[in-house]
Amino acid sequence: MSDLPATVFVLYGATGDLAKRMVLPAFFDLYARGLLPRRWKLVGNGRGDVAHEDFRGHVHDVLTEFGTVPTDEQWAGFAPDLLFAGGGFRAEDGGQLPDLIEQTRAELGADAQLIHYLAVPPSAFAPTTEALREHDLAKGTKVVFEKPYGTSLESLHELDALVHTVFDEEQVFRIDHFLGKEATQNVHMLRFANTMVSRVWDRSSIEEVQIDVPETLDIADRAAFYDATGASLDMLVTHLFQVAAEVAMEPPTSFAPEDMQLARESVISAFRPLDPADVVLGQFDGYRQTEGIADDSSTDTYVAAKLWVDTDRWRDVPFVLRTGKRLQGGAQRLSLLFRTPEGPLHSAGKVPEVLAFDLEGSGRILMELTVKAPGPDFVPSEVDHVLRLDQVADGSMAPYTSLIYDVLRGDRSLFTSSIGLAAAFTAFAPLLGPERPDVVSYPEGSWGPAAADRLTGRFGWLLARE
Ligand SMILES: NC(=O)C1=CN([C@@H]2O[C@H](COP(=O)(O)OP(=O)(O)OC[C@H]3O[C@@H](n4cnc5c(N)ncnc54)[C@H](OP(=O)(O)O)[C@@H]3O)[C@@H](O)[C@H]2O)C=CC1
Ligand SMILES: O=C1O[C@H](COP(=O)(O)O)[C@@H](O)[C@H](O)[C@H]1O
């Protein structure tokens, strides 16, 4: 067991989709790894009345379906600390939660930390924050907000102003789970720990950056949420911008969490507002036939955009970003495309030299290089080399496991800041106004609208070459 302080972890929306697919499996994963505090309680909250025993049954089902099935021994150690407080949690009526928190804190000791994890729809962020103030449950605690934390610059400011009347910034953890991925964390490890990488990490060596996250997934099981959100809000201004910031950031002053966060978040203010002429929005054929989607919906299920980062390091290097649903392939690939070296020893510029990161799963680092072809002649040939990060050592962590562990120990390096999010929404703002491009339809199982092909450089979208 770790030496973290005793903890009461309150999970709002504990029977919801995110809780079952991500948060509860991650929490159990931490338990199984011995990374939870020696003494802890997880208190689920919701509007219904659920007996503690029924909540435990729910958690067991969830782990069986989405996580690791506990052994009998693990379950006997884990289950008794799962509790449920029903009756919702509002400013005017806190339901059973305030009493149960008091009871568990009394049991765990006066120094027990209290963590509020808001796995509720964004519309419930403000009312839950107000309820925390009203029931005096904010002081000295930590609070975790899911994404999206605001859907525009204005709504971000409005929510953040409220949050800051209740919490100090140091108490606030805003999740973007792409930052918790093993391979994303390796972007700065590889860069800053290796001179041969750090020295080429700029416009003099790199001609293009691609962040390509095509998905084969449908949206039918979350139609209402998706139709009100769309790909550009769900993925572009959030995950893809954060990954772009990981690439674009200047070296931090130190590798302390606050300096890492500051370096990543401050480069976002150098993102030039998107030019709608450099953005393609798409919608897959058949989207409007999905149950719960209006016949005339103009929601984007696909977005491709060219982003410029106006720093000396990246001036004139396009960052091309793409994501969409029901596409031909699924991947989460960050690629740095290098300039063709001068002189004759390369593939005549026909093949890119690439350093890439596969962000999904345990993560992979890929290199595409030109070498001499075996044989008598001195001719170039291309090779791919793949480094699977789970072969480096055992113990790779899913993003939610990693991020919840960071919340427990108070490490904010992989969480977003309201300054960074405000800069992201400023760069994104042209897509929220009258200049927003119309959505173009694309066939399911394709790579999306052909119009997006003009956004990349001379090699096109790299994933389409595979
Ligand atoms: N699902 C996913 O894959 C992902 C979700 N997220 C984010 O996580 C958060 C939760 O998403 P998800 O679990 O899908 O959402 P759900 O719609 O499943 O809602 C979660 C739970 O919140 C409670 N709830 C619903 N409406 C309200 C309300 N108005 N006030 C208070 N409680 C409410 C419900 O519990 P009860 O009825 O018991 O009160 C519900 O089960 C959202 O912010 C979402 O954007 C982020 C990444 C991925
Ligand atoms: O936040 C989201 O992320 C998922 C992709 O995440 P991952 O778990 O596959 O890395 C995306 O499908 C979803 O639309 C979005 O809300």
Same domain assignment for residues 219 and 134: no
103 and 251 together in one domain = no
Q: Which ligand is nearest to the CA of 174?
A: 1
Do 343 and 451 fall into the same domain?
yes
Same-domain check for residues 44 and 140: yes
DSSP label at residue 314: T
Domain count, the chain: 2
How far is the centre of ligand 2, averaged over its atoms, from the C-alpha of 101 (Å)? 32
How would you classify the pairing of strands 113-118 and 302-307?
unpaired
Does the pLDDT value for residue 67 go beyond 90? no
**Same domain flag for 79 and 183:** no
In a domain, 82, yes or no: yes
Q: Contact at 8 Å (CB) between 103 and 63?
A: no
The rounded Å distance from CA 269 to ligand 1 centre is 30
Amino acid 440: pLDDT: 97
* Selection from 464, 410, 359 nearest residue 7 by Cα: 410
Residue located nearest, by CA, to atom 9 of ligand 2: 360
For residue 47, the domain's CATH number is 3.40.50.720
359 and 217 within one domain = yes
The reply to whether 230 sits in an annotated binding site is no
Q: Quick one: 186 and 90 in the same domain?
A: no
Check pLDDT > 80 for residue 104: yes
Q: Find out whether 301 is annotated in a ligand binding site.
A: no
Same-domain status, 126 and 217:
no
Cα(389) to centroid(ligand 1), Å? 32
* Residue 30 within any structural domain of the chain: yes
C-alpha 194/C-alpha 393 separation (Å) is 19
Q: What pLDDT sits at residue 347? A: 66
- What is the rounded average pLDDT of the residues 77-105? 97
- What CATH number is given to the structural domain containing 182? 3.30.360.10
Are 124 and 232 part of one and the same domain? no
Nearest CA to ligand 2 atom 7: 360
- SS3 state of residue 404: helix
In DSSP notation, 200-231 reads T-STTTEEEEEEEEE-----GGGHHHHHTT-H
Which domain range does residue 221 map to? 178-398+417-465
Residue 21 belongs to some domain of the structure? yes
Average pLDDT, rounded, for the chain: 95
- Say if residue 311 is in the same domain as residue 447: yes
**Distance (Å, rounded) from C-alpha 117 to C-alpha 172?**
10
Between 155-169, 341-355, 376-390, the lowest mean confidence (pLDDT) is in 341-355
pLDDT per residue over 122-141, tens digit each?
999 999 999 999 999 999 99
Residue 425 has pLDDT above 90, yes or no: yes
The answer to whether 239 is a known catalytic residue is yes
Residue 182 lies in a domain: yes
| 168 annotated as ligand-binding | no
**CA 320 from centroid of its chain's CA atoms:** 18
SS3 state of residue 365: strand
How confident is the model at residue 381, as a pLDDT? Answer: 85
Domain boundary among 146, 170, 194: 146
Q: Verify that 123 and 205 share a domain, yes or no.
A: no
**Which of 126, 146, 166 is the endpoint of a domain?**
146
Last residue of a domain, one of 131, 146, 161: 146
What predicted TM-score, i.e. pTM, was given to this entire model? Answer: 0.95
| Residue 412 domain-assigned (yes or no) | no
| Token pair 């009998």: residue | 72
Q: Which ligand is nearest to the CA of 14?
A: 1
Let me know if residue 344 belongs to a domain: yes
Query: Do residue 127 and residue 195 come from a single domain?
Result: no
pLDDT per position as a tens digit, 245-301:
999 999 999 989 999 999 999 999 999 999 999 999 999 999 999 999 999 999 999
Q: Could you give the CA distance from residue 86 to residue 96 in angstroms, rounded to a whole number?
A: 6
Q: Does residue 154 sit within a domain?
A: no
329 lines ligand 1 (CB under 6 A): no
Any ligand 2 atom below 6 A from CB of 215 = yes
In a domain, 321, yes or no: yes
